[in-house]
Structure 1
């Protein structure tokens, strides 16, 4: 199988830069896969799991939003957040969800409530991704 260059970047760091066989991504319009020589393509990503396949190994990384850019040079993903699934702790996520639910209930302004609801939705996305992985 032909390989291609894949880079996953978050605001904090370059998460992954390697040659891969296939990458499956959570697009806002549906999941999609990228193989070598894919047509140029740009997509917005929703929160979910990016599955990176190299040989017989698959690496799963949770992303929270971002963009995927497929070009002749390969695939670049710019993610708002990128965390390897192996590093996610279900108990910690559950505690953060409880805290976020309290923040929504305690919000004093519409803006504060909106921010708290967005954070809660993102945490629930993480929890859903963990259950699916």
Structure 2
């Protein structure tokens, strides 16, 4: 599935991923490929991205933390997520 993470300053990430775990306001939740359509508000926490490989733009790479070769995290203050047709768009602060 395609994951796009966008902040007010820049597009932080755009790539095919295996899964994404997000900090919902009522607890974290995971999205996998072919997930039902969803729109949700995100709270303060960590976005965990799992993918076969990662490529980050040089100017935003320092925002991500590597867990291992297939997992990275991104700390956020708040945001919104929309999942539709195997495309996840995350707007973050």
TM over 0.5: yes
Q: Which has the larger radius of gyration?
A: 1
With the length of structure 1 as denominator, give the TM-score of the two structures: 0.56
With the length of structure 2 as denominator, give the TM-score of the two structures: 0.79
Q: Structure 2 stretches of 5 or more lacking a match? A: 53-68
Which structure ranks higher in relative contact order (CA pairs < 8 Å, sequence separation ≥ 6)?
A: 2
1:33-73 superposed Cα distances (whole Å, 9 cap, x missing partner):
00000000011000110000013510100111010111114
The alignment partner of 2:35 has SS state of coil
1:37 aligns with 2:50: no
Q: Structure 1 stretches of 5 or more lacking a match? A: 81-133
Q: Which has the higher strand share?
A: 2
CA drift at 1:18: 0.3
RMSD: 1.0
Q: Select 1:63's aligned residue among 76, 80, 91.
A: 76
Total equivalences in the alignment: 77
Distance 2:76 2:36 in 1: 23
1:1-133 alignment runs, 5 A limit: 4-55=1-52, 57-80=70-93
**Cα pair 2:35 2:86 within 8 Å, conserved:** no
Q: Which has the higher helix share?
A: 1
